[in-house]
A and B are shown apart, each in its own frame.
Chain A
Amino acid sequence: MQQVLNGIFAGSIYALFAIGFTLVFGVLDRLNLAHAAVFTTSAYVGIELVADLGLSIWLAIPAVLVMGAVLGLVIERVAFRPLKGRHDAHFAGLISSIAVGGMFLALLQARYGPDTRRFPADAFPSTDFELGGVRITLLQLVILGVSLGLMLGLAYLVNRTRLGRGMRAVAENPHAAAVLGVNVDRVTATTFAISSALGAVAGVLLAFYVNSAQMTMGFNIELKGLAVIIVGGMGSLKGAMIGGIALGLAEVFAVQYVGSSWRDVVAFGLLFGILLLRPQGLFGARQVREV
């Protein structure tokens, strides 16, 4: 039971990260590999806000959310907007976002140094609850609550608002959307901002959860995020959410039943199997292209 909860908490962070990833892919058909750098940046910035400026985590999370949104706009402007309409935009976008991500990390090292950064030992109250032999900390509940809250908020945004309609129209067909009066550029930029804001919150939550931020943390979650969006179905928000939690649980059960050395093999084996059986992912719709 403790393990199931471990899986759900870790999985909710994966899910939040992956939703940002899949949002850009779903709407714009681009993979933004700088997403992981935003994740790392926000973890460091979050620690600085809490540890050095003494902000409470309730203020740090919104602050990081805003910062993530700004970084998202920067990424869109620098790495993706200039490629618009180019024939090789697909591959070029991968590379330009890798380049921008690398620059973010370099700046991060310039500001914070290469060392792992942590919150001071007493940054949060270590309240925990014990229910039937299962220990849950207040922090874990906060993490779960924030992740779920943001995911539901996003679902509302996409399904119920004007902006969401614009995003869905662009996802369907950018040209048609432009004809219908959607400002494609603005929708694109907003999508990046929302995506990065979610990635940023995921970063700071993970930093809270494991009490550390390191330069390489983005690489690990990037791989997992890719796995999640495939498992859930490219571009499917519901899929990324369920996929994230499924991956968290799969890892935990791999540790318990297969052996910790093989944990990542299980995760990627799952990914591989799903790709072969259901290439569109669990919740992705198969696209029918007419000639």
Chain B
Amino acid sequence: MRIRTASVSTAAALALLVTGCASEDPADTAAPAPQASGGGGGSGEDCVIEEPVPVGAALSLTGAAASYGQSQQKGLEVALDDLAEKEGVTYELAIEDDATDPKQGIAVFEQFISREPVSIILGPTLSNAAKTTDPIAQEEGVPVLGISNTAAGITEIGDYIFRNSLPETAVIPQTIAKAKESLGLEKVVVMYSNDDAFTESGFTAFEAALEEEGLETVETLTFSKADTDFRALLTEAKAAQPDALVVSGLIEAAIPLVTQARELGIEVPIIGGNGFNSPQLMADAGAAAEGVIVGAAWNSASESEENAAFLEAFEAKHDGKPDQFAAQAYTGMMLVDAAVRAGCSAERDAIQASLGSLQDIPTPLGTFSFDNREPQHPAVVQIVEGGTFTVLD
């Protein structure tokens, strides 16, 4: 699917489906292989680039991770709408599906690198896919901006690999510290899904943070990312009589886990990581979600100008609240725009250079800088109160 910034709307996207073939004619794409797109005149806000800048997004739109991928797609679409209002540079965004299969991810990256060259690749959705696809881009000198990869070892792949998603290690220590301080915790039960790279690294971060803060872990329980019935585990957890449950899991697990815990009469606070940071938590768990503490990379309640604008635009376009995946995807596209304008070039190497030197960019995630291709921006510890996230002081 191809979306031009000039003509994005649901109807237009459908129309483009029909004309999709035509628009992929080589003459129509920005530049010949292997290097994408030329430079332009001016710089920063005055930058003008004639041709649309080709950007590729490799997302998981079907398969197990489809709900994240589609959230990211929505975030990117909102970003394109916003960027279309700015003068000088237009974007041509190709969104491709890796079907949550790293092998298809490789094929998609190959397409973005050589057959339909793009200036920069966003994604892929899952860290495990990134570990197989990002080295290909690194070898070919194509910059990649991960918008949801949080596992260790992603940016170590090479100097073309960036991410704007804070890893769990940046979020969890302050979550535990804040929670201990305000709730006076002493002993906790830790639960995590051990067959998922994201939640397992969250667990490692929790483990370190708990030790750092001198909290006692009375029991560690694991589950599978596919589980939805946690009653057996929660009965175990309840028997240990902890002061809090610490959970590293995805939102799919978070909601049944929270509701079932309350149902079994576990009234202690539940502490989660990035995986819990979704409006679905309050929408679907209802009263059970009250008191859940979530350390996250994105403060959905932030009243910054950028965040307010993002929330408004997203709700206007998509009829629903964004989650962290959408916010990070939106921010990713904004960072790409900032980098393109900074160097006023759609060349891959130019984008790689300017992306790395981005400093203090205002985004919905907060003031954003890259440090050695890793994201730098404030994390937030939230608590659910009265059906919304509020910042835990």
Contacts and interface: CB of A to CB of B under 8 A. Distances in A.
Direct interface between A and B, CB < 8 A: yes
Interface of A: 2-3, 6-7, 9-10, 106, 109, 113-116, 118, 120-122, 126, 128, 135, 137, 206, 209-212, 214-217, 219-220, 251-252, 255-256, 259-261, 264
Contacts of B232: 3, 6-7, 10, 251-252, 255-256
Nearest to A210: B228
A210 B223 contact: no
B224 A128 contact: no
Nearest to B284: A118
Interface of B: 61-62, 64, 66-67, 69-70, 194, 221-224, 226-229, 231-233, 235-236, 251-252, 255-256, 259-260, 263-265, 280, 284-288
B194 A261 contact: yes
A120 B231 contact: no
B256 A114 contact: no
A122 B229 contact: no
B263 A118 contact: no
A206 B256 CA distance: 12
B74 to A, nearest CB: 10
B233 A10 contact: no
A212 B286 contact: no
Contacts of B259: 121, 211
B64 A215 contact: yes
Nearest to B289: A121
Contacts of A135: 263-265
Nearest to B262: A126
A260 B233 CA distance: 8
B222 A120 contact: no
Given A109-B66, A135-B263, A211 B231 contact: no
Contacts of B224: 220, 264
A209 B231 CA distance: 10
A8 to B, nearest CB: 11
Contact of B235 (A2, A121, A209, A215): A2
Nearest to A207: B228
A116 B255 contact: yes
11 contacts: A3-B235, A7-B232, A113-B67, A114-B70, A116-B252, A116-B280, A121-B284, A211-B284, A215-B64, A220-B224, A255-B236
B66 A215 contact: yes
A91 B94 CA distance: 39
B252 A260 contact: no
Given A135-B265, A212-B228, A214-B228, A113 B70 contact: yes
A57 B194 CA distance: 34
A7 to B, nearest CB: 7
A219 B226 contact: yes
A6 B235 contact: yes
B82 to A, nearest CB: 23
A260 B255 contact: no
A118 B280 CA distance: 9
Contacts of B194: 261
Nearest to A259: B222
A204 B194 CA distance: 27
Contact of B255 (A9, A206, A211, A252): A211
Contacts of A3: 232, 235-236
Contacts of A115: 67, 70, 280
A171 to B, nearest CB: 33
A259 B236 CA distance: 10
B285 A137 contact: no
Contact of B263 (A7, A122, A128, A256): A128
Nearest to A262: B222
Which 7 pairs, one residue from A and one from B, show the smallest C-beta to C-beta distance? A121-B286, A114-B66, A210-B228, A118-B284, A6-B231, A115-B67, A252-B232
| Highest count of chain A CB atoms <10 Å: which of B61, B228, B256, B288 | B228
Contacts of B288: 121
Contacts of B285: 121
B263 A137 contact: yes
Contacts of B252: 116, 212, 214
